[in-house]
């Protein structure tokens, strides 16, 4: 495997430091065998506050292709497993049982003004499938990456068959490794397994509605995961993720209108994002402390200052095609909007440009946005510059409204 053999895209100028260590880190990763030992994203982990998981699962059942599989009950959490199939990642929706429970992940929310409103609600990170769990962890520890002990994993109510990194100082995400031959089912060693009637009922009602809306065959698995980080952490966050995964650097685009950049990494093993979603990092071009001098837009930096570094949105692919001249993404959005879900803007892009995209409003349960993206024909990319500028601006407007609400509450 040569992780540097892929075509570079984009127009963003990186530092000499980034370009040097991108080569050195990926060459080392390939040479010691980690690229061959680490495979796809097997699952992603999201935690919600008490009382929110059932409604969030119903929301996801309507807006995504995911199905409720089972609930794992441990001492302090319910962990609900959602699955499409074994060719795309699972979702692990964790609900804290008691709102008074403190912990490392809650502390990552509480120092941010809006993030603290939902102290347990956050995207936690990804679980990557590996061939040799002990071998991967040993190699990563030799590269100075740190992991929770098995006793700490138990106390955190996370599956015991995972190795889990300490939270990133740049993204606040964790990375889990799970040893699993590709042909075997995913199994999470955690708690007592059962199907919860209330969850099953909410899931089934949402799936029946999705089918009634005739969108159940149009929404495909996750296309990409987009994390927002501070401007000064853009390059090191990308290098850290590439060091911990088997992804490669696809490229970066400068979004001048929004004073930001969009940076994409993709799996070196799988060409389809539906098998292993792309990981996207968005960062301001300038830090917040110069905003009063340069008077440029700062939606990404503002988001991070309000919520902390974290995942901003999960993008679902939409099947290419149309019905009676209405493109599939417009059908999906129209039907979901008719059920009361808000979107931040109209669908943008066109068939001529190669893709169409839209952001939903942030979920009240997870604070995550759902993006829908429909590619036409053989379009190979994640956005056009005009599209991503509009999406970034729309998300920034919602964040400004949330900030105003926060300021109002403080003044009262």
Per-residue HEC secondary structure of the chain comes to CCCCCCCCEECCCCCHHHHHHHHHHHHHHHHCCHHHHEEEEEEEEEEECCCCHHHHHHHHHHHCCCEEEEEEECCCEEEEEEECCCCCCEEEEEEECCCCCCCHHHHHHHCCCCHHHCCCCEEEEEEEEECCHHHHHHHHHHCCCCECCHHHHHHCCCCCCEEEECCCCCCCCEEEEEECCCCCCCCCCCCEEECCHHHHHHHHHHHHHHHHCCCCCCEEEEEEEEEEECHHHHHHHHHHHHHHCCEEEEEEEEEHHHCEEEEEEEECCCCCCCCCCEEEEEEECCCHHHHHHHCCCCHHHHHHHHHCCEEEEEEEEECCCEECCEEHHHHHHHHHHHCCCCECCCCEEECCCCEEEEEECCCCCCCCEEEEEEECCCCCCCCCHHHHHHHHHHHHHHHHHHHHHHHHHHHC
Which residue segment(s) compose the domain that 404 sits in? 214-411
Question: What digits encode the pLDDT tens for the residues 37-51?
Answer: 999 999 999 999 999
Indicate whether 369 and 239 sit together in one domain. yes
Could you tell me if residue 231 is inside a domain?
yes
* pLDDT value of position 398: 64
Indicate whether 189 and 143 sit together in one domain. yes
Indicate whether 325 and 403 sit together in one domain. yes
CATH number at residue 325: 3.10.180.10
Domain boundary among the residues 187, 211, 235 is at: 211
Domain boundary among the residues 194, 211, 228 is at: 211
Could you tell me if residue 25 is inside a domain?
no
Domain boundary among the residues 182, 211, 240 is at: 211
User: What residues in the chain have per-residue pLDDT under 50?
Assistant: 404-412
């Amino acid at each position: 495997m040569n992780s540097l053999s892929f075509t570079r895209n984009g127009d963003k100028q990186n530092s000499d430091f980034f370009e040097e260590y991108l080569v050195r880190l990926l060459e080392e990763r390939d040479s010691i065998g980690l690229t061959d030992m680490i495979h796809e994203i097997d699952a992603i982990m999201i935690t919600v506050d008490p009382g929110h998981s059932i409604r969030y699962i119903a929301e996801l059942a309507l807006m995504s292709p995911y199905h409720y599989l089972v609930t794992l009950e441990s001492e302090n959490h319910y962990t609900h497993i959602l699955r499409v199939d074994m060719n795309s990642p699972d979702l692990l929706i964790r609900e804290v049982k008691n709102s008074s429970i403190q912990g490392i992940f809650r502390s990552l929310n509480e120092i941010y003004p809006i993030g603290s409103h939902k102290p347990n609600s956050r995207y936690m990170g990804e679980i990557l499938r590996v061939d040799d769990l002990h071998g991967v962890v040993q190699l990563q520890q030799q590269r100075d990456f740190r992991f929770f002990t098995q006793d700490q994993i138990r106390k955190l109510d996370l599956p015991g068959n995972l190795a889990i990194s300490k939270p990133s100082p740049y993204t606040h995400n964790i990375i889990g490794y799970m040893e699993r031959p590709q042909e075997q089912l995913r199994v999470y060693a955690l708690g007592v397994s059962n199907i919860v009637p209330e969850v099953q009922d909410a899931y089934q009602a949402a799936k029946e509605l999705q089918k009634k809306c005739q969108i159940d065959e149009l929404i495909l698995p996750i296309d990409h995961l987009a994390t927002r980080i501070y401007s000064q952490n853009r390059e090191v966050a990308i290098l850290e993720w590439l060091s911990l995964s088997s992804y490669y650097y696809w490229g970066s685009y400068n979004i001048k209108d929004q004073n930001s950049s969009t940076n994409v990494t993709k799996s070196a093993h799988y060409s389809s994002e539906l098998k292993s979603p792309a990981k996207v990092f968005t960062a301001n071009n300038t830090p917040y402390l110069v905003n009063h001098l340069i008077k440029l837009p700062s939606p990404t930096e503002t988001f991070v200052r309000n919520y902390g570094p974290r995942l901003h949105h999960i993008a679902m692919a939409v099947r290419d095609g149309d019905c009676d001249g209405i493109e599939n993404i417009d059908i999906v959005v129209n039907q979901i909007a008719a059920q009361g879900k808000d979107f931040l803007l109209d669908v943008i892009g066109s068939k001529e440009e190669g893709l169409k995209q839209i952001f939903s409003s942030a979920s009240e349960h997870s604070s995550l946005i759902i993006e829908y993206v429909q590619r036409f024909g053989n379009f190979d990319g994640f956005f056009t510059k005009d599209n991503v500028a509009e999406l970034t601006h729309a998300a920034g407007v919602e964040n400004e409204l949330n900030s105003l609400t926060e300021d109002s509450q403080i003044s009262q």
